[in-house]
Structure 1
Amino acid sequence: MANYGVAEAKNKFTHLLERVQDGERITITKHGKPIAELRAAPDPSPKTKGPEWQAWYDEFVKRRNARPASSIPAAELVRAMRDGDPE
């Protein structure tokens, strides 16, 4: 893991991001003490959803479909919320 001071990291930020994108971790230091770590962000979407997720989703759909439809259009509801109109 590479260490960079704050000023050097600021000057080389784009280069450091490229290194992080390649899988490296970078530690940012201030007066020789670690204050931050740059690392790749986790993949936001799971590769496989699996049976646990599917069961949760099926239950969600079932509960959503069991709810009665709203008596007013969404646009009116948003306007009322925005303008502070009482129901």
Structure 2
Amino acid sequence: MKTVTLEQAQKQLDKLIDLIAAGEEVTITLDGHPVARMAAPRLLQQLPSLADLRARLPMQTESAGDFIRRLRDSERY
């Protein structure tokens, strides 16, 4: 992890961006205290497609309206 002052960061922003793109993490300090940390974004995990999920769900035998009416009319409510 590279640490630079705010002045250095302003002067060398293009070089810092190259470091970050290469996977380096950069901390910017002001008066000796860290005020910012810059790092390349983590890649998001690829989520399965919604169509695949729907294809694996069992087919419903009852309409949504009938299901809600059955729940509403049950003794629980």
TM-score range with shorter-chain normalisation?
0.5 to 0.7
Shift of 1:40: 0.1
Supply the AA of the counterpart residue of 1:2.
K
Shift of 1:4: 0.4
> What TM-score, normalized to structure 1?
0.53
Scaled by the length of structure 2, the TM-score of the pair is 0.59
The reply on whether 1:49 has 2:31 as its aligned counterpart is no
Structure 2: gaps spanning 5 or more residues: 55-77
- Larger C-alpha radius of gyration, 1 or 2? 2
Aligned ranges 1:64-83 → 2 under 5 Å? none
- Larger relative contact order (CA 8 Å, sep ≥ 6): 2
Aligned counterparts, 1:1-80, within 5 A: 1-43=1-43, 46=45, 48-50=46-48, 54-55=52-53, 58=54
Displaced runs of 4 or more, over 4 A = 51-54
Deviation at 1:54, TM superposition (A): 4.3
Structure 1 residues without counterparts, runs of 5 or longer: 59-87
CA 1:52 to 1:19, structure 2 compared with 1: closer, same or farther past 3 Å? same
1:49 partner letter: L
Aligned-pair RMSD on alpha carbons? 2.3
